[in-house]
Amino acid sequence: MKPLIALISDFGLRDNFVGVLKAVMLGIAPRARIVDISHGVPRHDIRAAAFLLASSVSYFPRGTVFVSVVDPGVGSGRRAIAMRSRNYYFIGPDNGISSIAAAHDGIKKVVVLENKRYFRKSISSTFHGRDIFAPVAAHLACGVSLERFGRPTIQHHAIGIPAPAIRADMLCGETIHIDVFGNVITNITKKDLVNFIRRKRFKAQLARKKITRLASSYAAAGPGPFFIEGSFGFLEVSMAHKSAARYFSLRGSRGVPVIIRRA
């Protein structure tokens, strides 16, 4: 089977960054297939990229090489790393972008990318995606062993999705992402909610506005905001045919408290 490389970045599609990234990889691994997860990550938002990557990985075949380039620290002292998990490979800056996805799959080995033999000859201080991550991914897809790229390390930057907590008879969570439809994704699962309310009614608060319904589908929800179990397993605050993020006047995508009480 042809090797598969998957990309996620905050490059957008207006400029030529994504095309150049692919050209570098295909110049080294012409048989590789390249899949775009997303290039619409909010600029410099490492946590948003980490969430999107982690919620996508399990749909890819074993052996996929994931290249993640949301890299506000490019040109600084931050390291470039490659990780091998039980089923996949992850390449990118050592800023935690791949840590959630790799940890979920079980991290087996991490190496610091140091062997310049596998980089482009000229390395820009502003585009390591092109000059380091892309060529390393292509060589890895061609069968070069992980150990050839650099020394192993047990230290790497990790981030996580915070778990909801029960405090003073309240289920306390927070927002972690807003999708293109304006659905507000929380860190609370349907199981968390059901176990907390114990078949009773509930009232939730987000940005000083209330949510009192759990819907099974958008079509069945009717007007007003509601919770729905999203396709990636978390509760989402949604509105039929409208942007919930706009309704709740959310400017940021994460860290806004979601408080649920039994009614």
Q: What is the pLDDT along the chain (263 residues), one digit of tens a residue?
A: 899 999 999 999 999 999 999 999 999 999 999 999 999 999 999 999 999 999 999 999 999 999 999 999 999 999 999 999 999 999 999 999 999 999 999 999 999 999 999 999 999 999 999 999 999 999 999 999 999 999 999 999 999 999 999 998 999 999 999 999 999 999 999 999 999 998 889 999 999 999 999 999 998 888 999 999 999 899 999 999 999 999 999 977 789 999 999 98
44 phi and psi angles, rounded to 5 deg: 65, 10
Q: Are 153 and 83 in contact (CB under 8 A)?
A: no
Of 124, 66, 139, 60, which Cα lies nearest the Cα of 97?
66
* Angle between the N-to-C axes of helices 17-28 and 134-141, in degrees from 0 to 180, rounded to the nearest 10: 30
Q: Is residue 159 part of a domain?
A: no
177 shares a domain with 138: no
Of 31, 68, 32, which Cα lies nearest the Cα of 52?
68
143 shares a domain with 171: no
Which CATH number characterizes residue 198's domain? Answer: 2.40.30.90
- Specify the number of domains making up the chain: 2
- What is the Cβ-side half-sphere exposure of residue 257, based on CA atoms within 13 angstroms? 11
Q: Is residue 48 part of a domain?
A: yes
129 shares a domain with 22: yes
User: Cβ contacts of residue 100 below 8 Å, gap of 6+?
Assistant: 50, 51, 53, 54, 159, 160, 161
∠ CA 222-228-232, rounded to 5°: 145
Tens digit of each residue's pLDDT (9 = 90 or more) over 197-243: 988 899 999 999 999 999 999 988 889 999 999 998 999 999 999 99
Range of the domain at 29: 4-149
Q: Are 85 and 98 in contact (CB under 8 A)?
A: no
